[in-house]
Amino acid sequence: MPGYVTHLEGAIDGARLPAGTLRTLHEGRPILVRYDLERVARLVDRDALVHRAPTMWRYRELLPVEDDANIVSLGEGMTPMLDAPRLGAALGLDRLIVKDEGQLPTGSFKSRGQSACISMAKELGCTAVVVPTAGNAGGAMAAYAARAGMEAHVFMPRDTPEVNRREAVLCGATVHLVDGLIDDCGRLAREHADANGWFDVSTLKEPYRLEGKKTMGFEIAEQLGWRLPDVIVYPTGGGTGLVGMWKAFHELEALGWLEDTKRPRLVAVQSDGCAPMVRAFEAGERFATRFEGAATVASGLRVPAAVGDFLILDAVRESEGTAVAVDEGRILDWMRQVASLEGITLGPEPAACVGAAEELARAGWIRPDESVVLLGCGTALKYPHLMPDVEG
């Protein structure tokens, strides 16, 4: 099918860049994909989407791959929106919904971004990819690279959870363990990419993972009858999904697909053991400084510096949202709470969102009658070492 991408755009300065080439950063900052939304609006009937396959690729015209033959898919999406009345009652929220991304092929929302970026890497002739990871991204990239027949390299901190390490190896990736954090892994990945001709698919360091992640926003809108919730609570490490959903809402409004153009307030959630975005938000800064001594059991939140910091903070502020750092010591309790009340097994990253929702409800920032979507970015089954064992 013909593509709908018009160009790429430098997020920091709006510079217009040509599409159809392998690109990483512009002026050291992320690049965004732009579409001919007027053409999409003319040619695509929103209400006909219901007849398409229930995967993220149902939004085909709003994704960057031109040739369907290049789509690398493991059947990702659509993930369920699960009402959580018992958890909501415990938190003081009457309309709490969990979007359970743990049901995606690799157990987390990383499936979306990796499907999109590996598809584009294939379309643009790439044969080897590399990624730094704090947890689930490495295994997801390895799986999609295997599906595409690509060589894969993963750099991860030596103390990355065992399941994440083994998953990447199982899928055929070469795994490099690093004594450091994800930004140290990112530096090494970049050096090896330059030396060996690998394509670096780091978070927001290429344009296409964002495009896969934004489909969460499309799904939320469609699943709620093309209306948006009052609040979305999002676990924020690199922040691709938060930025992607905000982009998706802009695109949906431009297409005229939304029944109500009121946007949700975005809540960026971090652990107080690694909270660079919260610190920058509270200080009124657009860019975040590196968070020294980062430590949290939520490996996906252990991102001391993010290249898309300004995009995260811009989206939160534009939405009239907020950023919250929760008590690191309670994350395991929140994992157990949501599983025992609702049977939904959330990993530590989305479990942190439970604490943020509770705090914001108690403070009156979220009213009891508001609709709240908690983004359940991954399953607890990827973190067996954090699960409680039989007592006695």
**pLDDT for 315:** 98
**pLDDT for 245:** 98
Other Cβ atoms closer than 10 A to 230 = 16
How far apart CA 273 and CA 294 sit, in angstroms, is 6
User: What's the whole-number mean pLDDT along residues 186-202?
Assistant: 94
User: What's the whole-number mean pLDDT along residues 174-184?
Assistant: 94
Other Cβ atoms closer than 10 A to 190 = 19
User: What's the whole-number mean pLDDT along residues 281-291?
Assistant: 97
User: What's the whole-number mean pLDDT along residues 145-161?
Assistant: 95
Task: Provide the token pair at 17.
Answer: 């860049």
Whether residue 148 has pLDDT greater than 70 = yes
How far apart CA 101 and CA 112 sit, in angstroms, is 10
Other Cβ atoms closer than 10 A to 19 = 17
How far apart CA 16 and CA 4 sit, in angstroms, is 16
Share the mean pLDDT of the chain: 96
User: What's the whole-number mean pLDDT along residues 299-321?
Assistant: 96
User: What's the whole-number mean pLDDT along residues 245-268?
Assistant: 97
Per-residue DSSP letter, 93: -
User: What's the whole-number mean pLDDT along residues 232-250?
Assistant: 97
Q: How sure is the predictor about 1, in pLDDT bands with cuts at 50, 70 and 90?
A: very low
Question: Which residue, chain included where needed, has tokens 């690199």?
Answer: 238
Domain ranges of the chain: 81-108+209-386
Percent of the chain beyond pLDDT 90? Answer: 95
Per-residue DSSP letter, 96: E
E strands in the chain:
5-10, 16-17, 31-35, 81-83, 95-100, 128-132, 151-157, 174-178, 199-200, 231-235, 265-271, 322-326, 371-376
**pLDDT for 135:** 84
User: What's the whole-number mean pLDDT along residues 50-78?
Assistant: 96
User: What's the whole-number mean pLDDT along residues 186-215?
Assistant: 95
Whether residue 270 has pLDDT greater than 90 = yes
Are 91 and 365 spatial neighbours (Cβ–Cβ below 8 Å)? no
Q: How sure is the predictor about 101, in pLDDT bands with cuts at 50, 70 and 90?
A: very high
**CATH number of this structure's domain 81-108+209-386, picked from the four choices 3.30.160.110, 3.40.50.1400, 3.40.50.1100, 3.90.190.20:** 3.40.50.1100
User: What's the whole-number mean pLDDT along residues 67-86?
Assistant: 96
| CA dihedral for 47, 48, 50, 54, sign (positive or negative) | negative
pTM of the model: 0.96
User: What's the whole-number mean pLDDT along residues 124-143?
Assistant: 94
- Facing residues of 96 across strands? 372
**pLDDT for 391:** 81
Whether residue 277 has pLDDT greater than 70 = yes
**pLDDT for 22:** 86
How far apart CA 158 and CA 162 sit, in angstroms, is 10
Q: Which residues contact 73 (CB under 8 A, 6 or more apart)?
A: 55, 57, 115, 119, 147
**pLDDT for 2:** 59
How far apart CA 137 and CA 114 sit, in angstroms, is 8
User: What's the whole-number mean pLDDT along residues 179-187?
Assistant: 92
pLDDT digits (tens, 9 = 90+) for 342-353: 999 999 999 999
User: What's the whole-number mean pLDDT along residues 289-298?
Assistant: 96
Q: How sure is the predictor about 328, in pLDDT bands with cuts at 50, 70 and 90?
A: very high
Are 302 and 186 spatial neighbours (Cβ–Cβ below 8 Å)? no
- Facing residues of 362 across strands? none
Nearest to 268 by CA among 192, 346, 377: 377
Q: How sure is the predictor about 234, in pLDDT bands with cuts at 50, 70 and 90?
A: very high
Q: Please give the C-alpha separations between residue 90 and each of 43, 86, 93, 252, in angstroms, as whole numbers.
A: 46, 6, 8, 33
